[in-house]
Amino acid sequence: MGRVALVTGGTRGIGEAISKALAAEGYSVAATYAGNDEKAAAFTEATGIKTYKWDVADYDASAAGIAKVEEDLGPVDVVVANAGITWDGFFHKMTPEQWNKVIATNLTGVFNTVRPVWPGMRERKFGRVIVISSINGQKGQAGQVNYAATKAGDLGIVKSLAQEGARAGITANAVCPGYIGTEMVRAIPEDVLNSKIIPQIPAGRLGEPEEIARCVTFLASDDAGFINGSTISANGAQFFV
């Protein structure tokens, strides 16, 4: 295989499953994280996958971190912009700090992650950009104006990158998970999960991180070379209007 994959937020939750799935396919994987050193160390111990720590909201830190990844593993062929946070609240109570933090991490973080690897992908005439968006970017969500804005923004990013990169052999696609059983979702009170969220999912269950990882490995593969600017929704038939 010999290809190099970078997964932001690749040590926990959906990102952890993506890192492991790409490693199992033979990619040399770099998994990044923000601050949970203990989890990152346990992840490397269990998988042998190298981890790197930087804040995706910081462009200089991202560029320096990616330069180090490329020094260690070689040029990045596949970039998975997965790191993301929520900081929910109804709009009438949402503070500028809440708005700015989520935009900086989830939306500017995608720019900061993809921009440093893009020129190399153009030169080498190959690249895969995969952004983990969300069903809530497709349908909106009360209490998540900030988060939904970033996840809808991801779809604009990949559609535009697809048009810029297509002739250079680069694809850019999004995966929109529904509710997946990670710490982000398990943080929702259990009674809310059981009474409000799971009943909205026709599949009757949360998704598994591995079910998102399989979308990513497919989009990263040579077989997906003509899929560009697309969105894969993986949400247990939780259709939206």
Task: Name the site residues for ligand NDP (rule: CB under 6 A).
Answer: 8-9, 11-15, 32-36, 39, 55-57, 82-85, 105, 132, 134, 177, 179-180, 182-185
Catalytic site positions: 147
Cα–Cα distance measured from residue 120 to residue 115, given in angstroms and rounded to the nearest whole number: 10
CB of 240 to ligand NDP, least distance (A): 13
In single-letter form, the type of residue at position 31 comes to: A
Kindly state the DSSP code that residue 226 receives in the 8-state scheme: T
CB of 206 to ligand NDP, least distance (A): 7
For ligand NDP, which is the closer residue by CB, 125 or 186?
186
CB of 226 to ligand NDP, least distance (A): 25
For ligand NDP, which is the closer residue by CB, 94 or 185?
185
Kindly state the DSSP code that residue 104 receives in the 8-state scheme: I
Q: Identify the CA nearest to 188 among candidates 238, 131, 158, 144.
A: 144
For ligand NDP, which is the closer residue by CB, 15 or 165?
15
CB of 208 to ligand NDP, least distance (A): 11
Alpha carbon separation from 120 to 5, 25, 174 (Å, rounded): 13, 22, 21
For ligand NDP, which is the closer residue by CB, 13 or 116?
13
Inter-residue long-range contacts of 192-199, CB under 8 Å, 24+ positions, other chains counted: none
Enclosing H/E stretch for 23:
helix 13-24
